[in-house]
Structure 1
Amino acid sequence: MKSQDIRAQFLSFFEDKKHLIVPSAPMVLKDDPTLMFVNSGMAPFKEYFLGNAQPKSNRIVDSQKCLRVSGKHNDLEEVGYDTYHHTLFEMLGNWSFGDYFKKEAIAWAWELLTEVYGIDKDILYVTVFEGSEEDKLPMDTEAYDLWKQFVSEERILKGNKKDNFWEMGDQGPCGPCSEIHVDIRSAEEKTKISGKDLVNQDHPQVVEIWNLVFMQYNRKANGSLESLPDKHIDTGMGFERLCMVLQGVQSNYDTDVFTPIIREVETITNKKYGEDVKVDVAIRVICDHVRAVAFSIADGQLPSNTGAGYVIRRILRRAIRYGFTFLDKKEPFIYRLIDVLSAKMGTAFPEIKTQQQLVTNVIREEEASFLRTLDKGLDLLEEVITSTTKSTEISGAKVFELYDTFGFPKDLTALILKEKGYAFNEKDFEIELQKQKKRSRAASEVTTEDWTVLIPENVETFVGYDQTENDVKITRIRKVNSKKDGILYQIVLDNTPFYPEGGGQVGDKGSLTPTLSKGKGAIEIIDTKKENNLIIHFAKSLPNDLNQTFTAKVNTELRTSTSKNHSATHLMHLALRTILGTHVEQKGSLVNPNYLRFDFSHFSKVTDEELRQVEASVNTQIEAQLQLVEHRNLPLQQAMEQGAMALFGEKYGDTVRMIEFGESKELCGGIHVKNTADIWHFKIISEGAVAAGIRRIEAITGDAVKSFYQSQENTLAEIKETLKNPQDILKSVISFQEDNAKLKKQIEQLVKEKVEGLKNNLVAEFQEINGVNFLAKQVDLSMSSTKDLAQAIGSSKSNSFVFLASVEDNAPNIHCYISKELVAEKGLNAGNVIRELCRYIDGNGGGQPFFASGKGKNVGGINEALTAVKRYVS
């Protein structure tokens, strides 16, 4: 069976069982602070399990893109070395929200595997939860008895809490599970050892393919369990592993999910898969990682240096490094795999086709950038090796510095060192790594208590589109303690006018005041966010009486400024598409009271003239006094037919909110002005690149523009006064620049003559010490001129060793020139000399064996450095 048929048959089977087929949610999570990425099939449905929202159907089936590269579920280091772990994988799942339970889930799983897919019953094993003394849970005899109808008891295995009790995290819905494992070993292998002895033992041919989770408990903050009011089914089957079984191969990478990509890698690299272990690992790594990176970018997550973006960059760099080391690819090539990937997966996941050009450009630029970093890392590593003269062991701290600062992989460093007869201290490296991890954990450590529910089964209502003040009741609270923010309280209301952070717009701030207190006892709401469909209000304290009625009041000054910036973002999006082309798509935004930031796809710098046109277009729309037209609860399909812009990476429901200002039509949940005239004016402050094919514009509106123009006017007045109030200020500035250029040329000539004069004088001061022509001196020159002088003097005489120091801007600098014959014959090294002498001037530096420079802070150390260098040569 082809992979697309296997996927289609799974969906069709459960559709016949009255399940609603839903598309895969984007992998990048927007409103769940506990997860960066969807790491299991249940993550997009978390709000349903928590009871914060109602699903479209009580029965759902899907194939969900998942990414496991960080946190509790992290398969990254296994990828490539085995044949069944992946970063990105598809999880086929069927779901029941308070409908059917264990009986149906088990029966249907067996029916699909054995009758529909035709898998031999004799190669299947199942596991059930054996119970847990720690949690006071008995064995799952219900599941055991149900399985006995289909499977002989010798094939039903008992599993411990680690393997057979599934939890979404430290808190939340959880429950026992039954895994289905398959044994695809040869008949000969099966006679040597029973498959049941290899279940959950990381054997590449005895693997789990399906996990049936019976959600029936809730894990509380104190670790205890309570029964959920409704019981749910959450199943997840590894699509790639299922294809391996049904296509009769021994590796996920031998299925048609991966073979087209492998063939393309072979073509590009002239390497053959299946002939060399190291080459095979590298090819598997690249074929896996390109999928993860490509779909992350298509879902809206660009590589970066922080958070989820850093995870994506790390995955890509791992792939690049394997290509660099084992496939001898020193130039970008992974981006060339996107055509094959798009052709293979574009039907099931159309986002990869729609975003193909962007994905290709971003990966190509990231490859080129990291290959430059690798080159720089190789140069630095060479310096480290050269400076290590008394041992063949390199400092682990130095290797960690290469890893931490330049992203230079540890194993690549080890490989290069081995080739040169060196090794590094792995223990010291691990010490530095653990220090970094400890710092990172300390900065992000958060303790979250359980919710205290004051009004059960309340469905929160957002009224903020129509009101900024409303009477409310508190329905639940919880306490959160973090290293970063200290103790905060999270509050949920029965209804709220506060807009929660989303769609790039920051959350509202304001106050919560007891209604009958005449303004006394108010607490400040410092932020509002959305988490698993709950609107959460953040405060530093709680009211004395939680059960009274409160007045929730939004800070309207901040909200008004924010709404101006948000509406201007929509107008600018339209202007960019009109002026630059319809390839422009929003790729990220930030809308706050002070300014707006807008990231968009475009493959070249926006010219000054184009920026002027965009600015003029937005201001024309502002002056046109376009009225806001808002459509709430509009069917998604109808909104798209009317020309609404939807953002890739966003998860939309069946009904949406569409915002119109003239020709601008966008799906948006944010707060907007009632009329574009309210924006007053729009001004672009900056434009630049964020990543390959992604540009960023920052702009301001309203009062911020007034302040900007006032500041410009004040600056102009100061310039005019400085120039003695000329009638034509522009002419005066041009004249000033011309005079300055003439003076610079004169100064350069004078310095050149001074350097030449000094050179002639200093050459006569060479001393012969131990066969070395030595000169050490402090001179009164700039740093660059001192450097030029050292090289000029040194090259004028054979066997020369020149050390010059000078002071510029109260900072000392030193330079060392050693002639090449001394480097070759005596083993002298200017880089080592400078590194040693920099300690006298509280600085650092380095360079090549024949020339090096350093800079410091302690001017008084120059004399000590001059004495020390003479002592060294002597």
Structure 2
Amino acid sequence: MKSQDIRSKFLSFFEEKKHSIVPSAPMVLKDDPTLMFVNSGMAPFKEYFLGNAEPKNTRLTDSQKCLRVSGKHNDLEEVGYDTYHHTLFEMLGNWSFGDYFKKEAIAWAWELLVDVYKIDKDILYVTVFEGSDDDDNLEMDTEAYDIWKQYISEDRILKGNKKDNFWEMGEQGPCGPCSEIHVDIRSAEEKAKVDGKSLVNMDHPQVVEIWNLVFMQYNRKANGTLENLPNKHIDTGMGFERLCMVLQNVQSNYDTDVFTPLIREIETITDKDYGKEEKVDVAIRVISDHVRAVAFSIADGQLPSNTGAGYVIRRILRRAVRYGFTFLDKKEPFIYRLVDVLSKKMGDAFPEIKAQKQLIENVIKEEEASFLRTLDQGLAILDRIVANATDKQVSGSKVFELKDTYGFPEDLTDLILREKGFSYNKGEFNKRLKEQQGRGREASELKSDDWTVLIEDEEQEFIGYDQLEAKVKITKYRKVVSKKDGELYQLVFNLTPFYAEGGGQVGDKGYIASSNGNVFYIVDTKKENNVIIHITKELPGDVNQVFDATVDAKQRYRTECNHTATHLLHQALREVLGDHVEQKGSAVHSKYLRFDFSHFSKLTVEELRDVENFVNARIDGKLPLQENRNVSMDKALEEGAMALFGEKYGDAVRTIRFGQSIELCGGTHVKNTADIWHFKIVSEGAVAAGVRRIEAITNDAVKDFYFENNRAYFEMKDLLNNAKEPVKALQNLQSENTELKKQIESLLKDKAKNIISDLKNEISEVNGIQFLAKKIDLDAAGIKDACFNLGQNQTNIFLLFATEQNGKALLSCYISKELVAEKGLNAGTVVRELGKHIQGGGGGQPFFATAGGKNPGGIELALKESENYIK
């Protein structure tokens, strides 16, 4: 059975059971601070489990893209070495929100696997929760056990511990016991030797879990205790790739048609055969897995970067490049060429991969090229480290710096060192790594109390589109503590005029005032699992009263100007550059806006001018806001509204129209484009291959911009003695400056030649070595030229020159290659040790190195001690 048919049968089966089929949510999460990526099928539905929103149907089914590469669920380092772990995987799921429970979930799972997919029941095992004797004191799930007895013999129902059979979304939140379904696809001979039940949950590659049925019935509180949920829910997740392995009768996920087209393409590109050499097989599995994760992340709006979720994506791609570089001998970009195969294979089920194909290829190709340059640079640095090593073990700190500063992977360093007969101090490396990880955890660690609920079952209402002030009640609150921000409080109101950060727009600031006039400032507003949270540094004394809530109107207005300008900018870019332009991200603040978009080249001056003029023409046109707060998604798209990849939309959406610009948007906007006053682009540049970024300002910021430029203009004219043509006057000054620089360079060269001529006569012989240590009046470049000039026609020469410039000292050491080879002298070692006298340090190559320091007074001692190296 083909993978497309397997996925289709699953969704059709549950559709017949009155489930609504919903599309996969984007993998990159926007309003859940506990997760970077969707790491399980239930993550997009957390708001339903928490009771913060109502689903359109109490029964849903989907195939959800998931990514497990960070945090508690991290499979990255296992990928490639076994046959069933992945970074990106599909999770087939069916969901019940307060509707059916264990009986139906178990019955339908059995029916689908045995009756529809025709899996032999004799290769299946199931597990149930055995209970726990810890603080939770949970009893065995006898209800699930008794239900399973109706379908499978008791000797195939295994009791599982809390680790394997009690599912929790995190340290807090909904949780419950679960039943896992495992499959044993070993050969008959292997089954005769070892009973399959002894291999369940033992990481055996052919005895694997394929489906987990979670019975959500508890809520884990911050203090660790459990309470019953108001409603019981079903959350199931079946690994699509593993199911394909079973139904296609193969022994590895990578042998299914999910991966074989990618593997064949890798074989063709690299001229390597899969299945002949283990290290090659691992590399091919890594690359075929990782390209899926990276491609879908980019399609969902997450570009590789140096921070957050973007760093995770960059790390995955670099791991793939590294395996290709090391084991497949690929020294040029090639992974991007797999996107075409991936698009053809998965584009029907996930159309975003087809629509974003060109962008994905561009980004991956550029990232590959960049990292390959890093590898080349790292190899050169590693060669120098090895050359300077005093024994066969390299410093662990050096290996860490190579990884931390240059992105050079430690396992590749280890491999290269072993090939050269070297090793590195792993204890020292791990110590530095743990210190760094500890600092990162401390900075990001967030501890939160349980919510204190003041008003039960109060549904929150957002009124901020129409009002900036309101009388509000606090329905619940909690304290949160982080290393970064200290102690804060999160408040939820029954209704709120505060806009929560989202869609690129920052959250509102403002304050609430109590009846006695005390003011409590709202420093930020965010959304978490569909709930608007107001962040304050102080908790009101009496939380049960009615407060006057007020949004900072000036900040909101400026932000609205910038947000509306992003819509007009989007329209302008498509008009000026072409319909290929699509928004790839935005940041809307009160002071400026940032807009990322797909485009293949730098914008010309004329194009930037045309874009600015287009936007300002719409501002001058005084276009009124036309808003529709509740329109069906289909109707909005029919009207021409633009939907952004990577955004999660419901069935009903909000559209914002200014003239011909119409977009799906939940942000706040001006009532008329005239309110923006003026639009000015301040920068344009590249973010990634095929993605450009424009930063711009509007309204008051434009006024400030022109005021500052006007002031700078008159200051410049004043410096130019009020020249009538200041530009021409500046050009004349530049020409004069260029000519004077040439004259100075010529004089310095003549000076250096004279000094070098004098230095030749000062070289003396010490122990058969030509030696000179002297303080000279040249800059760093002049000293280097002097060293190489003197060393060019001399053998066995040792030079140490010092100079003082701007209150700082510089030492430069040159040692001829004969001395380096025969005597074991090393210029890098010399300057590091002598550099202590000038309170500095440095390094370089064995034959030439420099050290800088802040104590010129130590120069004489450094020069005097240099002779010790040749005595």
When the two structures are superposed, what TM-score results if normalisation uses the length of structure 1? 0.98
Deviations along 1:438-459, one digit per CA (max 9) or x if unpaired, are 1111111111111111111111
Check whether the contact 1:489–1:541 (CA below 8 A) recurs between aligned residues.
yes
CA distance in 1, matches of 2:211, 2:320: 28
**Cα 1:843/1:688, change in 2 over 3 Å:** farther
1:847 corresponds to? 844
- 2:419 pairs with 1:422: no
Q: CA deviation at 1:778?
A: 1.6
1:187 corresponds to? 188
- 2:641 pairs with 1:644: yes
1:64 corresponds to? 64
Select which of 855, 862, 867 maps to 2:864. 867
1:373 corresponds to? 374
Q: CA RMSD in A?
A: 1.1
Alignment of 1:652-671 (within 5 A): 652-671=649-668
1:589 corresponds to? 586
Select which of 518, 522, 531 maps to 1:521. 518
1:42 corresponds to? 42
Select which of 680, 685, 710 maps to 1:683. 680
Deviations along 1:523-550, one digit per CA (max 9) or x if unpaired, are 1111000000000000111222211111
Deviations along 1:534-568, one digit per CA (max 9) or x if unpaired, are 00000111222211111111000100111111111
CA distance in 2, matches of 1:789, 1:101: 84
Question: In structure 2, what residue type is equivalent to 1:285?
Answer: V
Question: In structure 2, what residue type is equivalent to 1:538?
Answer: I
CA distance in 1, matches of 2:804, 2:715: 33
CA distance in 2, matches of 1:159, 1:534: 36
Give the match's secondary structure for 2:526: strand
Alignment of 1:193-592 (within 5 A): 193-389=194-390, 391-514=391-514, 516-517=515-516, 520-592=517-589
Check whether the contact 2:67–2:87 (CA below 8 A) recurs between aligned residues.
yes
CA distance in 1, matches of 2:797, 2:832: 19
Check whether the contact 2:259–2:288 (CA below 8 A) recurs between aligned residues.
yes
Give the match's secondary structure for 1:473: strand
Question: In structure 2, what residue type is equivalent to 1:98?
Answer: G
CA distance in 2, matches of 1:648, 1:439: 34
2:827 corresponds to? 830
Q: CA deviation at 1:126?
A: 0.2
2:755 corresponds to? 758
**Cα 1:120/1:667, change in 2 over 3 Å:** same
Higher mean C-alpha deviation, range 665-674 or range 138-147 = 665-674
Q: CA deviation at 1:845?
A: 2.7
Alignment of 1:623-638 (within 5 A): 623-638=620-635
CA distance in 2, matches of 1:690, 1:481: 34
Q: CA deviation at 1:258?
A: 0.2
CA distance in 1, matches of 2:583, 2:618: 19
1:104 corresponds to? 104
Question: In structure 2, what residue type is equivalent to 1:847?
Answer: G
Higher mean C-alpha deviation, range 680-689 or range 139-148 = 680-689
Give the match's secondary structure for 1:862: helix
Check whether the contact 2:388–2:846 (CA below 8 A) recurs between aligned residues.
no
1:714 corresponds to? 711
Check whether the contact 1:806–1:813 (CA below 8 A) recurs between aligned residues.
yes
CA distance in 2, matches of 1:298, 1:745: 53
Question: In structure 2, what residue type is equivalent to 1:627?
Answer: P
Q: CA deviation at 1:630?
A: 0.9
Question: In structure 1, what residue type is equivalent to 2:806?
Answer: D
Check whether the contact 1:783–1:808 (CA below 8 A) recurs between aligned residues.
no
Deviations along 1:811-850, one digit per CA (max 9) or x if unpaired, are 3222222223333333333233333333333333322222
1:141 corresponds to? 142
Deviations along 1:656-677, one digit per CA (max 9) or x if unpaired, are 1111111111111111111111
Question: In structure 1, what residue type is equivalent to 2:449?
Answer: E
Q: CA deviation at 1:865?
A: 2.2
Question: In structure 1, what residue type is equivalent to 2:153?
Answer: S
CA distance in 1, matches of 2:824, 2:590: 63
**Cα 1:808/1:664, change in 2 over 3 Å:** farther
1:816 corresponds to? 813
Q: CA deviation at 1:66?
A: 0.2
Question: In structure 1, what residue type is equivalent to 2:710?
Answer: E
Q: CA deviation at 1:270?
A: 0.8
1:6 corresponds to? 6
CA distance in 2, matches of 1:804, 1:115: 86
Question: In structure 1, what residue type is equivalent to 2:866?
Answer: V
1:726 corresponds to? 723
Select which of 791, 795, 802 maps to 2:792. 795
Check whether the contact 2:513–2:549 (CA below 8 A) recurs between aligned residues.
yes
Structure 2 unaligned residues grouped into runs of 5+:
none
Check whether the contact 1:98–1:232 (CA below 8 A) recurs between aligned residues.
yes
Check whether the contact 1:286–1:322 (CA below 8 A) recurs between aligned residues.
yes
Q: CA deviation at 1:639?
A: 0.9
Q: CA deviation at 1:601?
A: 1.0
Deviations along 1:568-602, one digit per CA (max 9) or x if unpaired, are 11111111111111111111111111111111111
Question: In structure 1, what residue type is equivalent to 2:775?
Answer: Q
**Which aligned runs of 4 or more in structure 1 are off by greater than 4 angstroms?**
none
Check whether the contact 2:291–2:335 (CA below 8 A) recurs between aligned residues.
yes
Give the match's secondary structure for 2:203: coil
Check whether the contact 1:25–1:65 (CA below 8 A) recurs between aligned residues.
yes
Higher mean C-alpha deviation, range 834-843 or range 334-343 = 834-843
Deviations along 1:206-253, one digit per CA (max 9) or x if unpaired, are 000000000000000000000000000000000000000000000000
CA distance in 2, matches of 1:641, 1:568: 24
Check whether the contact 2:619–2:677 (CA below 8 A) recurs between aligned residues.
yes
CA distance in 1, matches of 2:259, 2:275: 14
Q: CA deviation at 1:646?
A: 1.2
Check whether the contact 1:31–1:530 (CA below 8 A) recurs between aligned residues.
yes
Check whether the contact 1:783–1:807 (CA below 8 A) recurs between aligned residues.
no
- What fraction of aligned residue pairs are identical, expressed as a percent? 69
Higher mean C-alpha deviation, range 452-461 or range 196-205 = 452-461
Deviations along 1:50-76, one digit per CA (max 9) or x if unpaired, are 000000100000000000001111111
Question: In structure 2, what residue type is equivalent to 1:588?
Answer: G
CA distance in 2, matches of 1:322, 1:22: 36
Q: How many residues align?
A: 870
- 2:692 pairs with 1:695: yes
Question: In structure 2, what residue type is equivalent to 1:590?
Answer: A
Check whether the contact 1:628–1:660 (CA below 8 A) recurs between aligned residues.
yes
Q: CA deviation at 1:147?
A: 0.1
Q: CA deviation at 1:712?
A: 1.0
Q: CA deviation at 1:299?
A: 0.4
Check whether the contact 1:63–1:92 (CA below 8 A) recurs between aligned residues.
yes
Check whether the contact 2:210–2:239 (CA below 8 A) recurs between aligned residues.
yes
Check whether the contact 2:562–2:588 (CA below 8 A) recurs between aligned residues.
yes
Higher mean C-alpha deviation, range 138-147 or range 376-385 = 376-385
Give the match's secondary structure for 1:732: helix
2:171 corresponds to? 170
When the two structures are superposed, what TM-score results if normalisation uses the length of structure 2? 0.99
CA distance in 2, matches of 1:845, 1:642: 65
CA distance in 2, matches of 1:663, 1:383: 61
Question: In structure 1, what residue type is equivalent to 2:421?
Answer: G
Give the match's secondary structure for 1:764: helix
CA distance in 1, matches of 2:716, 2:627: 48
Deviations along 1:312-332, one digit per CA (max 9) or x if unpaired, are 111111111111111111111
CA distance in 2, matches of 1:576, 1:35: 33
Higher mean C-alpha deviation, range 684-693 or range 793-802 = 793-802
CA distance in 1, matches of 2:345, 2:807: 63
1:115 corresponds to? 115
Question: In structure 1, what residue type is equivalent to 2:768?
Answer: G
Give the match's secondary structure for 2:762: coil
